[in-house]
Structure 1
Amino acid sequence: MIEPATASPLGSEIFALVALVVISIIVLLILRYYLPLRTTPAYLLVPVFFAIWLPANMIILVPIDLASSAMVDDIAARGIWLHQGTLKVAWRITYWLTFALTWFILPILAEFSDSGYREPRDKVLDSLRSNAQYYAIVFGSGIIGLIYVLISYGAFSESLQSTVMALAYCWGLALAIYLMGHGLVAIPRRLFRNANISGKLRRIQSQAPRIYEKMEDAEMNLEDLEMQVSELSKRRGGSVSLFQDWIEELLDLTNLPESGPATSRVVPGTGENNKILPTVITEKYMADLTRQLVRAKHSRSRWVSEWNRLLRDAVRTQAILDSAASKKLDFGAASPTAGVLDKYNPLTPYTRFLLHYHALPKLHIALGGLLSLASVCIVWSEVVKGLLPNFSVIRYSVVHHWQGENGQVGFAGQVIAAFWMMYMCAAALTSITEVKVWRGRALVRRNTAHESAFWYASQVARLSVPLSYNFMTFLGALYRDTVFYDFLGQLINLTGLGTRFDMLFPAIILVPVGATLFGLYGRFRRSVGLGVDLIDDDDEEVDIYGSGTWREGRDLIERELNGTSAAIRSRRSEAANRIAGGEARAAPIRSIPTSSSRRGARATGGPTTPLGTSPNTRPSVSGNTSGRRSRQAEPEDENFFEALGHRIQNTFDTMDAPRWFQDIKKPKWMGGDEEGAPAGPSSRGGNGADVRRWFGGGGGGSGEGRIRL
């Protein structure tokens, strides 16, 4: 790089400082949206802030590095540039802080916040024990990589540092490519789907039964744990006396009423005490109970928030559809928790109708088409950058000033590069929120669990460096002149394996792109009979074990909005009865009782029973007032004649015979008694003739005949 001594990047430095301040404000607003800043401890806010702030800075640091490292001596065409010494310091601080946050600080703090112990020392030890397996895998992979580098490279001067950086980059790149491939398809497709207002409403309705089930399961789980805390507080003496203060803190976390339901610790019919709690209360038991209680509270908060958001979206979407007739759109009064933009809306009902019914759908289509084209360009550039780098579309969109084979990035190219990086990061980070992760981690507005905040921040930090460097490889030989390449790229390319992995592995992006584009996640789920995916695939509506359909969701939303589907009041009594009876809940209740059954449960104080208690009946989320019949499982080995016999018997059994036909006596050979038995369908007993025998069906023993629809 040729840099005149008289050149001064003062204007660029001011621009960079202003950009850092703006990014800091945006990060603080993001944290405020998901976390209450006043009550959140500093040990969480500070690491999470830097875990988001440092990756966000790379969006402006990479374009500045590209413009500063150009080989053309044209200061006016550089755009925003800095001295190489400043860039080297910035990259070292950004990379090593991100590395430390990703692999050490955030995982330890996440387990520290999730630990149920009271004392900080016990929390730290529990966190280290929880991360022991994680670090064993990390250090084991590092040792294997170090041995490979020593054998292939034959030197030790930079092998350790290069191995650590290269392994971290390869793992982050593998995760980033997969998530980004999913997001590059999911984001444009979501925009196209949201352009269809009726289709959007149907998708919202199809999600309602599943979210409602999750909310009820979370509520039931929380109440079970609260009842355990209540039973624990009733103990006196023994080992419980050592944890009285701890138990009082757990009681403060619960929502038990002061006059809670009376619970009996005697199993009905046995007369013996049902010891739902261990005989000896230990510190480990108290820590596990605390951890489960905190997780259950956050899980309940998550699904309640999801349910309220779904209701709000359903109401708004239905109002938009209904406004087609009157040409006026009014969403009603804003809720107290709504944002400033929702509370202050200067539009008239007619202009609001034009905006939401005509303008926004067309804008979604236009933006979806633009992002689809951007996704195609990113996928194409990933595929050809290793073999045909001159055919990269992103390269020509960023590098505008060419002198022979050398290029220079100006201000316009820097802006375009920043937008490319923002879209790539948004595609990867959007997929993170859709990944099915353990412990039910989720981002909840103003109430995100501390462990979830640490986990999502660590994923942001982990993906930032691989995505930044992967974007720079789209630019051909130009990226080899950057400071970032001198700091990280040459260590990745230290061995032939690292070079081939960096250039050829990103072509694997075709796998997640194809899987998301053609809905392979849902097809694989249905083929193996699983009820969960690695990533949500809303390409088709799937009705599996109570997931429900859009019609059931529509009825459920209508009842909730009309006030006839209130929360089940007898949950706490049911939890107390299960604890008193020593019954462990084997599976979640996946039925939604009707409003009448709930009122009856509240009146009698008894628990709500799920629909379809027959062992041959699959539980389903019905909830509709039409009373959908439960379906019985038909045997798989039923042949054609047996099925025909079932239907003929069904015809005769459901036929109303005339009185003269009922007075006819059956002879003994037809199954009648000694005096004779009436032949009508109302008199069929256990020894009655079974017409299915004529067609090779099963016998007509007592209770074996079943009506087949």
Structure 2
Amino acid sequence: MADVSIGSDIFAVVALLAISLLVLLLIRYYLPLRSTPGYLLFPVFLGLALPCSIILLVPIDLASAEGGSSRGIWLPERAVLVAWRVTYWLTFLLTWWLLPLVGEYVDSGFRDTRSRILYSLRSNARYQLIVLGTGVAGLVYYILQNGFNISSIKGMVMALAYAWGLILAIGLMGHGLVALPRRLYRTASVSGKLRMLQTQAPKTKDKLDEAVEKLEELENTVTQLKQRKSGTGRDLQEWIDELADTTAPPAPRPGTAAAVGAAGAKIPAVITEAYLAELTRKLKRARHKEARFVNEWNNICQQAQDAQTILDSVSSKSLDFGIEQDTLMSRLTFITPGMRYQLYAKAMPGLRLALSVCFGLASVMVIWSEIVRSFAPKISFINLTVVHHPNSDDGKIGLAGQVIAAAWLLYMDACALYAMTDVKVWGNRALVKRQTYAESACWYSLQVAKLTVPLSYNFITMLRADVYKETSFYKFLGQLINLTPLGKGFSAFFPCFLLLPVLATLFNLYGRTKNVFGFGILEDETDGNPSGFGTGGWREGRALIERELQSRSEGGARVGLAARGDSLDIERQAGTRSGTSTPPQRARAQREALLPPRVQEANRQFNSITNQEEEDDSVRHFYQDFTERVRNTFDTVDRPDWMRNLGSGVTVPKWMQSDERDNSSGPASTISRWFGGRAEDGRVRL
């Protein structure tokens, strides 16, 4: 055993070094290591490295039970227990204290350290008070159940943290078990992937335009603030100058400058430090939001162009992406255009399809194991695939079982983390290549650390009781969770609720909820709009992508700065020249005649749908101006998406509709026609 233990020690050290290196490479992909401060880089690194080490520690713990296994990699029981204590309490400290404080610290707009620390403490105070109140209630329950002792207090803290992490982990993993295989299946077909990208394009373009307009509005505020800085103190003037130096002048766009100037900047009469801090924080968030959607829009356009190139190469059986693509595959000179076609058109779609089938079967096995774990763990698929020697004295789990256990843990964590990127309830947090916002990096590392421990303990309880009860993980965490009947029952039966998010994702209950109530938590990727224009369909997305690619090839403006509400003509040029007087209609007809046929048809459909009514130039009264001001006050409030779309899914009954067009207008237009709305066809309605 001694020789095997030495080999296991060497393997564990090498594995930890490899995990640390991979985590550093992952952080480098999203954050610039040289410019990232150490107080941010170190906790983010620990928040990712410790959960990854748990995926390695659980299989080692399973083989180390009962004095070690000669079939696998094992460590002494004392070493495993110390590793669990260090890993768990460091993860607990990062999750509930350090990472939230660092996240709010880097999100603060103050300049000095003391003010940023106070801002971080104030921002986390409400959340920590809620946690403290819950902890006090749990402490009273534990004292009544087991008496006052240190074990009760420690068990209460660990059980509450485990319960909250398990609720979040089960919900996210249940969604990811369905969403991840389905995503691979939808992208297996090149044409299906192209259609999905075209469907996503209008929504992403809208969000990009909103982000750019918001940033330009804040930059306009800084410009006006610099003109009014004379009445402030010297420190505030230096602060304003720093904001002005870091703010680039907005790029000129038709109509944008007029809109921003008309809106005006809401600058208070007395400029305070708190106002400048809030403005600085909004500027940082707005820049992150713009970088996020610029990156998403670039990816969509590039992937759509690559997919269209693959489809166009079917006849020639030769694929060449050109010099614009800068990837690892494009740098390999030995790959010929014919080999590249076989790789992208045949091999990779087949690989995605095979992975979707394998992941789908794995999801079914995980769901089955979660259901039967509480009453029949011996027939769970995870138990059958991990425990290969249930009656052996040399160890019930060997090296093959350890590898399979690590694979199961990795898949469960991957499903939970994929669901975090698919469910749109996290605000403006996102991972952007080399431009991730510091607060987003803290938040994502916090979620990884929060989910891994509950999923790991939930995984070992899907094995046989005589296997997992001998592990150091169970002796350290499981006994404290099962200290009271409430904790024992919650750990045993709550994972069965995994079926709720699984069924909700499988049968698209999120989309049905959006159709009924007008809001949802997921981005709808289905082709629910055959006409495609005006409501974000795939046809409009195709025209937007073609216009963007055409502007790139002609060396046009920066990506994403053309408003979606503008004309979708690919060549948007002036209709007149010096010394000529060509009518606008004739100039537009001449431009459209030079476009491809499918783009001409797309423009005709778009222009036929988006025609606006003429402005009402009639005499206005006092109550009309007053009601419009009140309405504008409520319309300009920054509401969340679910509140903004509330009621949009309500369908008007047929008896309330005068014709087929009323269904698209909604109840508001129907009622307005009843009570003196805008007259139609020149008729006057009393």
TM-score > 0.5, shorter chain as reference: yes
Measured in 1, the distance between the counterparts of 2:261 and 2:197 equals 44
* Distance apart, 1:402 and its partner CA: 2.5
Q: Are 1:418 and 2:406 matched, yes or no? A: yes
Distance 1:127 1:323 in 2: 55
After superposition, what is the alpha-carbon deviation per residue over 1:325-354, rounded to whole angstroms, capped at 9, x for unaligned?
11111111244xx34444335311111111
* In 2, Cα distance between equivalents of 1:265 and 1:499: 60
Alignment correspondent of 2:625? none
The 5 Å alignment of 1:128-139 reads 128-139=121-132
TM-score by length of 2: 0.82
Kept after mapping to 1: 8 A contact 2:387/2:401: yes
- Residue 462 in 1 paired to residue 450 in 2? yes
What CA distance in whole angstroms lies between the structure 2 residues aligned with 1:195 and 1:524?
28
Label 1:186 to 1:274 Cα distance change in 2 as closer, same or farther (>3 A): closer
What is aligned with 1:200?
Answer: 193
**Given the alignment of the two structures, is residue 476 of structure 1 paired with residue 464 of structure 2, yes or no?**
yes
Counterpart for residue 309 of structure 2: 319
SS at match of 2:433: coil
Asked if 2 retains the 8 angstrom alpha-carbon contact of 1:166 and 1:491, the reply is yes
Which whole-Å deviations, capped at 9, do the CAs of 1:13-50 have from their partners, x for residues lacking one?
00111111111111011001101111111111110001
Equivalent runs, 1:62-81 vs 2, <5 Å: 62-70=58-66, 75-77=69-71, 79-81=72-74
Deviations 1:380-422 (A, max 9, x none): 0001000111111111101111327996110010000010000
Q: State the match for 1:496 in structure 2.
A: 485
Measure how far apart 1:251 and its partner are.
1.3
Deviation at 1:503, TM superposition (A): 1.0
Q: What amino acid does structure 2 have at the position aligned with 1:317?
A: A
Distance 2:258 2:335 in 1: 60
Q: How many residues align?
A: 609
SS at match of 2:44: helix
Structure 2 unaligned spans of 5+: 579-599, 614-650, 663-672
Closer/same/farther in 2, CA of residues 594 and 24 from structure 1, 3 Å limit? same
Residue 22 of structure 2 is aligned with which of 13, 26, 29? 26
2:498 is aligned with 1:509: yes
- Structure 2: distance between partners of 1:215 and 1:570: 7
Mapped partners of 2:396, 2:678: distance in 1: 89
- 2:208 corresponds to: 215
Distance in 2, Cα, partners of 1:537 & 1:275: 35
Task: Go from structure 1 to structure 2 and tell me whether the alpha carbon gap of 1:640 and 1:163 turns closer, same or farther (over 3 Å shift).
Answer: closer
Aligned partners of 2:527 and 2:537 also within 8 Å: no
Structure 2 Cα separation of the partners of residues 541 and 702 of structure 1: 30
The alpha-carbon deviation at position 699 of structure 1 amounts to: 12
Task: Pick closer, same or farther for the CA change 1:232–1:377 going to 2, 3 Å.
Answer: same
In 1, the alpha carbon distance for the partners of 2:113 and 2:165 equals 31
Q: Does 1:191 align with 2:198?
A: no
The corresponding residue for 1:49 is 45
Counting only pairs closer than 5 Å after superposition, residues 567-606 of structure 1 correspond to structure 2 as 567=557, 591-595=565-569, 599=573
The CA deviation at 1:523 is: 0.8
Contact 2:91 2:449 in 1 (8 A): yes
Q: Report the alpha carbon displacement of residue 57 of structure 1 after superposing the two structures with TM.
A: 0.3
- Within 2, Cα distance between the matches of 1:510 and 1:211? 31
The answer to whether 1:371 aligns with 2:359 is: yes
Q: Would the alpha carbon gap of residues 358 and 157 (structure 1) be closer, same or farther in structure 2, given more than 3 Å must change? A: same
Q: Residue in 2 aligned with 1:307? A: 297
Change (3 A) 1:628 1:343: farther
Structure 1 residues 181, 451: closer, same or farther in 2, change over 3 A? same
SS in 2 for 1:117: coil
Measure, in 2, the Cα distance between the counterparts of 1:326 and 1:266.
Answer: 51
State the one-letter code of the partner of 2:322: G
CA distance 1:202–1:237, change in 2 (3 Å): same
Which one is further off, 121-130 or 404-413? 404-413
Q: SS of 2:314's equivalent?
A: helix
Paired residue type of 1:38: R
**Is this contact kept in 1: 2:205–2:560, CA < 8 A?**
no
Q: Distance in 2 between matches of 1:462 and 1:182?
A: 17
Shift of 1:482: 0.4
- Cα displacement string for residues 662-698 of structure 1 (whole angstroms, at most 9, x for unaligned residues): xxxxxxxxxxxxxxxxxxxxxxxxxxxxxxxxxxx98
Taking a change above 3 Å as real, the CA distance of residues 624 and 397 of structure 1, as seen in their structure-2 partners, is: same
Structure 1 pair 142–199 and aligned structure 2 pair: CA distance change class (3 A): same
Which residue of the partner structure matches residue 538 of structure 1? 525
Report the equivalent of 1:229.
222
Structure 2 distance, partners of 1:34, 1:642, is: 55
> Deviation digits for residues 148-171 of structure 1, max 9, x if unmatched?
111122242311100000000010
Look up the match of 2:82. 89
Relative to 1, partners in 2 of residues 1:80 and 1:194: Cα closer, same or farther, differing over 3 Å?
same
In 1: Cα distance, 2:660 partner to 2:14 partner? 79
- Deviation of 1:8 (Å): 5.4
How far has the Cα of 1:274 moved from its partner?
7.4
SS at structure 1 position matched to 2:516: helix
> How many angstroms apart in 2 are the aligned matches of 1:141 and 1:641?
52
Counterpart position of 1:39: 35
Check if 1:349 corresponds to 2:337: yes
Q: What amino acid is the match of 1:194?
A: T
Which of 79, 95, 98 aligns to 1:105? It is: 98
Output the TM-score relative to the length of structure 1. Answer: 0.79
Gaps of 5+ in 1: 573-588, 605-621, 647-696
User: Structure 1 CA distance, aligned partners of 2:93 and 2:377?
Assistant: 33
Deviations 1:516-546 (A, max 9, x none): 111111111111112xx33445355469995
Tell me the residue number matched to 1:449. Answer: 437
Name the % identity.
47
C-alpha distance in structure 2 between counterparts of 1:257 and 1:274, whole Å: 15
Could you tell me how far apart the structure 2 residues matched to 1:345 and 1:182 are?
41
Secondary structure in 1 aligned to 2:390? strand
Q: Aligned pair in 2 of structure 1 residues 131, 328: CA closer, same or farther (>3 Å)?
A: same
Amino acid at match of 2:525: D
Deviations 1:555-597 (CA, angstroms, capped at 9, x unpaired): 111111112895599989xxxxxxxxxxxxxxxx862433489
Distance 1:603 1:99 in 2: 69
Bigger radius of gyration: 1
Please say which of residues 368-377 and 594-603 is displaced more in the overlay: 594-603
- Counterpart CA distance in 2 for 1:319 and 1:552 is 20
Question: Is 2:603 the partner of 1:625?
Answer: yes
Is the Cα–Cα contact under 8 Å of residues 368 and 380 in structure 2 kept in the other structure? yes
Q: How far did residue 638 of structure 1 move?
A: 7.9
| Kept after mapping to 1: 8 A contact 2:208/2:560 | no
3-state secondary structure, aligned to 1:30: helix
Change (3 A) 1:309 1:169: same
- Within a 5 Å distance, the mapping from 1:591-670 to structure 2 comes to 591-595=565-569, 599=573, 624-626=602-604, 627-630=607-610, 643=659
